[in-house]
């Protein structure tokens, strides 16, 4: 059934945000040093969390940054800081100087010509997309992912995740079924035509990885995570996460947010908490999500966050233009590519 939206879908941009595993020591430092809005974002994160998240992002150690209870707020805060630095640069070019802090946050602060048609996040990146679309405030989302990480570390599933390159999801599903008892490992992320992520207990992930190598996988990469997400056993923390979300105010998105679990836009703000609970234990449908956005007019994908992990996946799915926004140099480069839109916004 066709869906109707409160917003008019315009433009050809999609903003996409990376998830856990994209973290790297030093991320966000360059925008912190160059952008007042990015600096405010990191400083706010430090205050909210009660520890120096910014120092861990900028200086490490990597072992601390990779711990899921730290990595989740770190990835969110870094992506939002970079988004804020991008928006600040846009508004400076347009002569729209920062006001008293009451102006809209996220993509609502951009002129219409630079506002995305869709936003989406890969795995944990969906929480960043919700902030970008105005569904949650940065403070709310940071508290939510910190609680998600804490619950996962203390009471969630234990195990590992690995990226499998060279095989599609249906083949990986078959190998898992032929190798293990039901539920010991699953395809956690369908990342593209020939790349998936598996999750499960550590022994099962190792056994499946060996079987997939024999089956023709070109490469297997163990992910820098300390808990397996999008895995059925992680669903055990769902009720606690749902209780925490009852304290938050979910607003209607200003642009469509394509959900990981359905590869379709969230139908309403009230439906989002349930989708985020299912997000713990259900597959990330990234392949279908990118195809959905591309088939509905998104022809330029802008990855906003540390590195270019998501663009690396998108380019294997759709024939679209790719831009990266991760530091002051790439922000300037993206604005140069988008200069016609910036000129249109100025006129």
Q: Give the pLDDT confidence score for residue 340 in this predicted structure.
A: 76
Residues 115-140: what's their mean pLDDT? Answer: 97
**Residue 326 appears among annotated catalytic residues:** no
Q: Give the pLDDT confidence score for residue 212 in this predicted structure.
A: 97
* Given 122, 230, 279, 282, the catalytic residue: 230
Among 23-27, 66-70, 259-263, name the one with the lowest average pLDDT.
Answer: 66-70
Q: Are 97 and 213 in contact (CB under 8 A)?
A: no
Q: What's the whole-number average pLDDT of the chain?
A: 92
The reply to whether 6 falls in a domain is no
Q: Are 155 and 220 in contact (CB under 8 A)?
A: no
- Do residues 110 and 138 both lie within one domain? yes
- Do residues 84 and 123 both lie within one domain? yes
Total domains in the fold of the chain:
2
Last residue of a domain, one of 201, 226, 251: 226
Pairing type for strands 257-258 and 118-121 reads parallel
The reply to whether 3 falls in a domain is no
State yes or no: pLDDT of 132 exceeds 50. Answer: yes
Q: Give the pLDDT confidence score for residue 10 in this predicted structure.
A: 62
The reply to whether 8 falls in a domain is no
State yes or no: pLDDT of 323 exceeds 60. Answer: yes
* Given 123, 204, 281, 330, the catalytic residue: 123
Alpha-carbon distance of 272 to 265, in angstroms, equals: 10
φ and ψ of 254, to 5 deg: -80, -20
Residues 81-110: what's their mean pLDDT? Answer: 80
Q: How confident is the model at residue 156 (pLDDT cuts 50, 70, 90)?
A: very high
- Do residues 128 and 247 both lie within one domain? yes
- Do residues 82 and 144 both lie within one domain? yes
**Structure-token match 């706010």, residue found:** 44
- Do residues 132 and 167 both lie within one domain? no
In Å, how far are 21, 54, 114, 153, 309 from 300, measured between CA atoms?
24, 30, 11, 36, 16
**Residue 230 appears among annotated catalytic residues:** yes
- Do residues 71 and 138 both lie within one domain? yes
Q: Give the pLDDT confidence score for residue 95 in this predicted structure.
A: 76
Residues 217-236: what's their mean pLDDT? Answer: 92
- Do residues 27 and 142 both lie within one domain? yes
Per the structure, the complete domain to which residue 178 belongs is given by 160-226
**Residues contacting 40, CB < 8 A, separation 6+:** 84
Q: Give the pLDDT confidence score for residue 143 in this predicted structure.
A: 97
Last residue of a domain, one of 226, 255, 278: 226
Last residue of a domain, one of 200, 226, 252: 226
Tokens representing 251 are 């607003």
Alpha-carbon distance of 198 to 190, in angstroms, equals: 9
């Amino acid at each position: 059934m066709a869906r109707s939206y409160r917003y008019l879908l315009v433009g050809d941009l999609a903003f996409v945000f990376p998830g856990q595993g994209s973290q790297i020591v030093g991320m966000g430092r360059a925008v912190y040093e160059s952008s007042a809005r990015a600096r405010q974002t990191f400083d706010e994160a430090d205050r909210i969390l009660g520890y120096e998240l910014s120092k861990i992002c900028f200086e490490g150690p990597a072992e601390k940054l990779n711990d899921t209870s730290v990595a989740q707020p770190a990835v969110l805060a870094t992506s939002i800081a970079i988004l804020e630095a991008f928006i600040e640069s846009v508004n400076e070019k347009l002569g729209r100087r920062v006001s008293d802090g009451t102006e809209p946050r996220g993509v609502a602060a951009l002129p219409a010509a630079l506002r995305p048609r869709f936003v989406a996040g890969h795995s944990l990146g969906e929480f960043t997309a919700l902030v970008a679309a105005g569904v949650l405030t940065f403070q709310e989302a940071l508290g939510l992912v910190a609680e998600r990480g804490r619950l996962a570390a203390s009471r969630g599933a234990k195990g590992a995740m690995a990226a499998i390159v060279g095989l599609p999801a249906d083949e990986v599903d078959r190998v898992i079924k032929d190798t293990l008892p039901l539920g010991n490992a699953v395809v956690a992320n369908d990342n593209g035509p020939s790349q998936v992520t598996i999750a499960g207990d550590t022994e099962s992930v190792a056994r499946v990885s060996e079987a997939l190598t024999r089956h023709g996988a070109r490469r297997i990469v163990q992910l820098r995570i300390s808990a397996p997400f999008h895995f059925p056993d992680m669903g055990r923390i769902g009720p606690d996460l749902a209780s925490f979300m009852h304290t938050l105010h979910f607003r209607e998105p200003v642009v469509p947010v394509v959900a990981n679990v359905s590869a379709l836009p969230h139908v309403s703000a009230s439906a989002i908490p349930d989708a985020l609970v299912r997000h713990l234990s259900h597959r990330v449908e990234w392949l279908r999500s990118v195809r959905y956005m591309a088939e509905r007019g998104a022809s330029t994908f802008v990855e906003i966050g540390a590195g270019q992990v998501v663009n690396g996946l998108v380019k294997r799915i759709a024939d679209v233009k790719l831009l990266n926004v991760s530091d002051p140099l790439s922000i300037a480069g993206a604005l140069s590519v988008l200069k016609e839109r910036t000129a249109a916004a100025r006129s």
